[in-house]
């Protein structure tokens, strides 16, 4: 086989357009996001100007067709944006991730033409989206949800609550999963499009978190919340299918976030060990340190290739579910390991907020929890292997 770039496996290669896009997002993240990272983390609040600039850059509707104001790009590009922003800040990264790989994707796949016209056009230009599945008693057991939806003839009425909803504070539109008939179990679950202004809907408490602190994680409250009949996403009773299939795609986005966070920590550690001297020479000259660096770089590269491969499979219309689970499993573990090693290489400095690696470590931990815990990914992979 030839060693020319054209002959290498396409699943792990980036095109010239994708490389240019990646570089543009990296430059944007460095100039527009990085100066605000520390302040946002301390205040646990997203900078509103950054959100506006994300829209201006076209990063909030990457896969949205141009006719609805989006960039008309592919899923891989969405993952590249999530990765490059994660390299600077995990909070902004997950905002972009939920917007593109969960909410927008759900509209693209399941929305009616009228819903796409109304919501995708707004989400590409000004509206932040959120994906509301989890509840206090419904985490990994996603279909034990208790949010109730009643058919009132000309509308649906929702009662109950959601918990741990990313983008809750900033979002203007929410894809909410509720059960129309508890006796039917998961077959009663239906997806509803809920706007922030709907009567009976309110954003509740914002969680005080370990990491991704500027990303809002909120409770949602529904008290006789009125939802128009036309705001059912997909079919009544098919919400479980929408939830599963959307999360399968979203897990690749989380994988991209994790490799971005790991990359940021790795670069910080690399620069530090080159300049920090002990025993009369830079830390980078010690073989033990070099070996740690090599381990970090190898883990990062393996995780990146797994994420890119899963994204490519999704873009190609091929089966990507197992690859997505593997990518999220491996990248989230790698991110925690790499960010932890980065702290070790910084020594006592790494344990202080004066240096960036402690934040990368805090931001990485969530990767093994949201959009399917590590155990859920293991279960998915094992089931698919046993079913072969």
Domains, the chain, with CATH or none: 5-128 (1.10.540.10), 131-237 (2.40.110.10), 241-386 (1.20.140.10)
Cβ contact 79:197 at 8 Å? no
What is the C-alpha to C-alpha distance for residues 100 and 105, in angstroms, rounded to an integer?
6
Q: Could you report the per-residue pLDDT of 253-299, keeping only the tens digit for each?
A: 999 999 999 999 999 999 999 999 999 999 999 999 999 999 999 99
Residues comprising the chain, all counted: 388
| Residue range 330-366, pLDDT digits in tens | 999 999 999 999 999 999 999 999 999 999 999 999 9
Q: Which residues are registered as beta bridge partners of 278?
A: 281
**Cα dihedral angle (119, 125, 128, 133), rounded to 10 degrees?**
30
- pLDDT band, very low/low/confident/very high, at 3 (cuts 50, 70, 90): very low
Residue 9 has pLDDT above 50, yes or no: no
pTM reported for the whole predicted model = 0.95
**pLDDT tens by residue, 24-72:** 999 999 999 999 999 999 999 999 999 999 999 999 999 999 999 999 9
Q: For 106-162, what is each residue's pLDDT tens digit?
A: 999 999 999 999 999 999 999 999 999 999 988 788 778 999 999 999 999 999 999
CA 19 → CA 22, 24, 145, 201, 326, distances in Å? 5, 9, 41, 42, 24
* Separation of alpha carbons 63 and 21, rounded Å: 13
Cβ(101)–Cβ(77) below 8 Å = no
Q: Provide the 8-state DSSP code for 144.
A: G
Would you list the DSSP string of 170-204? T-SEEEEEEES-GGGGGGGEEEEEEETTSTTEEEE
Candidates 42, 226, 371, 385; catalytic one: 371
Residue 144 confidence (pLDDT): 85
Chain centroid offset of residue 368 CA: 12
- Burial tier of 334 (Cβ tally within 10 Å: 0-12, 13-18, 19+): buried
pLDDT > 70 fraction of the chain, expressed in percent and rounded: 97
* pLDDT score for 12: 53
Element (H, E) at 72: none
* Whether pLDDT at 201 is above 70: yes
Query: CA 130 to CA 128: how far, in whole Å?
Result: 7
Q: Residue 6: is its pLDDT beyond 60?
A: no
Question: Considering the chain, what is the average pLDDT of its residues?
Answer: 95
pLDDT at 185: 87
Q: For 189-210, b where at least 16 C-beta lie within 10 A, e where not — what string? A: bbbbbbbbebeebebeeebebe
Instruction: Please enumerate, as own/partner, the contacts of 195-201 that have beta carbons within 8 Å and a separation of 24 or more.
Output: 196/171, 196/172, 198/225, 198/226, 198/227, 199/224, 199/225, 199/226, 200/157, 200/158, 200/224, 200/225, 200/226, 201/158, 201/225
For residue 1, the model assigns a pLDDT of 35
Residue 2 has pLDDT above 60, yes or no: no
Using CA atoms of 132, 137, 142, 148 in order, give the dihedral in degrees to the nearest 10: -60
Whether 371 is a known active-site residue: answer: yes
């Amino acid at each position: 086989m030839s060693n020319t770039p054209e002959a290498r496996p396409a699943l792990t290669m980036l095109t010239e357009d994708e490389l240019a896009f990646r570089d543009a997002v990296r430059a944007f993240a460095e100039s527009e996001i990085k100066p605000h990272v520390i302040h946002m983390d301390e205040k646990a609040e997203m900078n509103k100007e950054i959100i506006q600039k994300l829209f201006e850059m076209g990063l909030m509707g990457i896969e949205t067709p141009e006719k609805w104001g989006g960039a008309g790009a592919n899923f891989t590009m969405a993952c590249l944006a999530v990765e490059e922003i994660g390299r600077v800040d995990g909070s902004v990264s997950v905002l972009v991730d939920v917007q593109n790989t969960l909410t927008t994707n759900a509209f693209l796949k399941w929305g009616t033409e009228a819903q796409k016209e109304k919501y995708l056009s707004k989400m590409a230009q000004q509206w932040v989206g959120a994906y509301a599945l989890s509840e206090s008693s419904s985490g990994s057991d996603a279909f034990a949800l208790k949010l109730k939806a009643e058919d009132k003839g000309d509308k649906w009425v929702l009662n109950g609550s959601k918990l741990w909803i990313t983008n809750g504070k900033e979002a203007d539109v929410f894809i909410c999963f509720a059960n129309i008939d508890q006796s039917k179990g998961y077959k009663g679950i239906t997806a509803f499009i809920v706007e922030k202004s709907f009567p009976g809907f309110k954003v509740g408490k914002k969680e005080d978190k370990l990491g991704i602190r500027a990303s809002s994680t909120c409770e949602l409250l529904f008290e006789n919340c009125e939802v128009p009949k036309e705001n059912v996403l997909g079919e009544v009773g098919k919400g479980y299918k929408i939830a599963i299939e959307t999360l399968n795609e979203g897990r690749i986005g989380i994988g991209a976030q994790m490799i971005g966070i790991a990359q940021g920590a790795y670069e910080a550690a690399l620069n530090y060990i080159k300049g920090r001297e002990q025993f009369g020479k830079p830390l980078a000259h010690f073989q033990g340190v070099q070996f740690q660096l090599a381990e970090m770089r190898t883990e990062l590269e393996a995780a990146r290739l797994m994420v890119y491969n899963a994204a490519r499979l999704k873009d190609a219309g091929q089966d990507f579910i197992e690859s997505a689970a593997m990518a999220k499993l491996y990248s989230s573990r790698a991110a925690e390991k790499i960010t932890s090693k980065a702290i070790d290489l910084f020594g006592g400095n790494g344990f202080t907020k004066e240096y960036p690696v402690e934040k990368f470590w805090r931001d990485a931990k969530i990767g093994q929890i949201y959009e399917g815990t590590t155990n859920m990914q293991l279960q998915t992979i094992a089931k698919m292997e046993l079913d072969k």
